[in-house]
Amino acid sequence: MVKELKDLSVKYAINLFEWHTFDSKNTGKEQDSKILIYGDCKSEFAKVLSKRVAKVYVLFETVLAKETFLGNKLDENIYVCEPLISGIEKYKKSSSKDKSENEDPNIETNIEEIKDVDYVIVPYPSRAIIGEKSLFDFSKYLIKEFTSDTGSIMLAFDNSKSVDIVAGKKSDASEVLYSYEDIEEARNSLKELFNGEVKLYFPLPEFKFPLRIYSSKYLPKLEDEDKKTRNLVKLGIFKQWAASYIFLFEASKSSWPLDETVSEVKEDGNEENNKEETRNKKSKTKKQEEDKQDISENKSSENYEVIYTKYNTNRNPSYALKTQII
């Protein structure tokens, strides 16, 4: 029974981010987006995303996970990066070609190409890739290091103060957990730094086995879930005590605060040059805001926010029917 549940968990992990519309530019076109999966993942996870977006990069934690991933037949728009433990020096395009064909110089590409992605996804919060960083610090690192001006990050993790954890359930030592208080701290700090927005989702029964995904705008109804969840909802503390979270931050780096510019001015002794640099930065920021407004005004009606998703468990997860509320 335990093995069967584990196998099901791996299959249904596809659901974790599949429900989301990957359209950070608000154009209504997912196929223009680039996604970076940060950390180990199953090939099925990447393939589901690759059929919808322009490029999927996978930055592995370990060599073993990378080699296992490459043992599967992959789509041409999936790019496999060198494992994090080896340093991010290059990445190789994945394909079904043999090794002799992979010696083509076009296979290796400069790392700069994954510096401007639309989404960074962290499907598993491994301590090896996060270390002791707070949710805010890790999020800030991902945004500054990899995302575009309108880029977003999505992380899934267990609640360090969930009912089960507080009651004594042991968590995996290799896994990083964050609490609702950590989320609120990250929300306020990231908004101040990047002028973006945090959206919070609640996968049930948990993020490793996501069958139903609620949001802050659509919480569980009393008749929908088990007794434990119903009691949390009834007491008005579901958000704080939920089992797991999906943390989405939509950044707008075109609105980074001017105090970063001020700190740069202080380091440079030439006052006139500093004034010119500040004017140029303000002009660039204004242009970025105008471009963003144009995109927003012309966005497709297909772009919408999903506030609830329920997957049918009677079919293979790759072909599962789903119900969504928008």
Question: What is the torsional sign of CA 50, 319, 226, 216?
Answer: positive
Please say if the pLDDT value at position 249 is more than 70.
yes
pLDDT above 70 covers a percentage of the chain that reads 70
Please say if the pLDDT value at position 239 is more than 70.
yes
pLDDT on residue 81: 78
Q: What is the mean pLDDT of residues 97-124?
A: 62
- Summarize pLDDT for 158-201 with one digit per residue, the tens: 999 999 999 999 888 889 999 999 999 999 999 999 988 999 99
Query: Which has more confidence, 5 or 133?
Result: 133
Please say if the pLDDT value at position 289 is more than 80.
no
Please say if the pLDDT value at position 287 is more than 80.
no
Highest mean pLDDT (candidates 111-125, 154-168, 271-285): 154-168
Q: What is the mean pLDDT of residues 13-19?
A: 88
Q: Nearest to residue 75, comparing CAs of 99, 100, 57?
A: 57
Please say if the pLDDT value at position 323 is more than 80.
yes
- For the chain, the average pLDDT equals 77
pLDDT band at 87 (very low <50, low <70, confident <90, very high): very low
pLDDT above 90 covers a percentage of the chain that reads 42
pLDDT on residue 317: 64
Global pTM reads: 0.77
Between 86-90, 165-169, 236-240, the lowest mean confidence (pLDDT) is in: 86-90
- Summarize pLDDT for 22-75 with one digit per residue, the tens: 987 777 778 889 999 998 888 888 988 999 999 999 888 887 888 888 888 888
